[in-house]
Amino acid sequence: MGIQNIPEHELARLREKAKEITGSQFDYQSSYTDLLSRRLNGEPLQYIEEYVPFYSIQINVDQRCLIPRPETEYMIEIIKNNVIAPKKILDVGTGSGCIALMMKKLFPDSEVHAVDISNDAITLAKENAEINNLEVNFYQSDLLTNVEKLDFDLIVANLPYIPTSNLPTLQKEVIDYEPLIALDGGEDGLLYINKLLDNLKNTDSNDLLLVLEVDTSHAQSLRDSFTDWKDVKLEKDLVERDRYIVARK
C-alpha cells in the first residue's frame, strides 16, 4: 500500500499517536514516520494505536487478540435486549475480554467468567480488566474443558467461524496480523460452535440464555440445528444481516 491509499483521517490518527508517544506537539516526526511505515506494511491501525473504544469502555489491543468488530459491539445491544439481570455469565472465546468486561460493566452484580484457548489472549484480557477496573474471572480453557460448574444463566460466544478454505481470501491485514486461532473455524466454519452446542447438551443450567455471534451465511442452517433449545431466534446486525442466534434452555 502507498501513502496515497491511506485516508487523511487515518494519517491524522497516526499523527496523534506519534504526539502521544513522544509527548510532544511539535517534535514527533520520526515517531510518525515509524508508525506510518508500519501502516504502509499493512498493520491494522488499531494495533498501531494500541486501543479501541468498545461500547462504553476502552480495550487495549495487540497481536495477542482479534480486534473487536462493530458486529460484536452491536451484540452487546442484542444481549441487553434479551436479559434483565443475569447472575452468572460466561463468555467463551473472550479474546481481548471485550464482551465479558462489558457484561460486568452493564451487570455489576453478576459473576462473570471468561475463557479462551489462548494464554496470550487471557493475559491481555486480564490487563484490560485492570485498566477498566472491572472484575472478571478470566482463565484458559479449550471451550468448556476447564469450566468447573455449568450453572450460568447467560452464555455468550463469538467463536472463530471462517471456513479454513476461505482464510486465503481474507484481507492481508487480517490474515497477516490477527491470530489465526481467532479466525479459523475448521472445515465448514462451524467446528467450535458445534462443539460448544454439544458441550451444552447436558448442562444443568436452569433457564440458560445463549447468545452467539455467527457468520451470516451460517445463521439459517445453524438456527435449524437448535432442536433441543426453546425460543430460538435470529437477530440482525446493523446492516440487516442475520448475525446472532439467541436461544433458551
Ligand X SMILES: C[S@@+](CC[C@H](N)C(=O)[O-])C[C@H]1O[C@@H](n2cnc3c(N)ncnc32)[C@H](O)[C@@H]1O
**Choice between 36 and 196, CB closer to ligand X:** 196
The helix/strand/coil state of 210 is: strand
**Choice between 37 and 171, CB closer to ligand X:** 171
| Binding site residues, ligand X, CB under 6 A | 65-66, 68, 72, 92-96, 98-99, 115-118, 121, 142-143, 158-160, 181-182, 192
Parallel, antiparallel or unpaired: strands 154-157 and 88-92: parallel
CA separation, residue 104 to residues 15, 84, 108, 152, 244 (Å)? 34, 13, 5, 14, 20
**Choice between 32 and 235, CB closer to ligand X:** 235
**Choice between 57 and 65, CB closer to ligand X:** 65
Give ∠ CA 160-166-169 in degrees, rounded to 5.
Answer: 115
Least distance from C-beta 233 to ligand X, angstroms? 20
Torsion over CA: 115, 42, 12, 9 (sign): negative
Least distance from C-beta 232 to ligand X, angstroms? 21
**Choice between 31 and 110, CB closer to ligand X:** 110
**What is the spatial distance between Cα 94 and Cα 138, in angstroms, rounded to a whole number?**
9
Residue found by looking up cell 457468520 in the block:
215
**Choice between 36 and 103, CB closer to ligand X:** 103
Least distance from C-beta 59 to ligand X, angstroms? 9
Torsion over CA: 198, 201, 202, 205 (sign): positive
**What is the spatial distance between Cα 44 and Cα 171, in angstroms, rounded to a whole number?**
11
Least distance from C-beta 54 to ligand X, angstroms? 8
Least distance from C-beta 184 to ligand X, angstroms? 8
Secondary structure E strands in 11-168:
51-54, 57-60, 88-92, 111-116, 137-140, 154-157
Least distance from C-beta 183 to ligand X, angstroms? 7
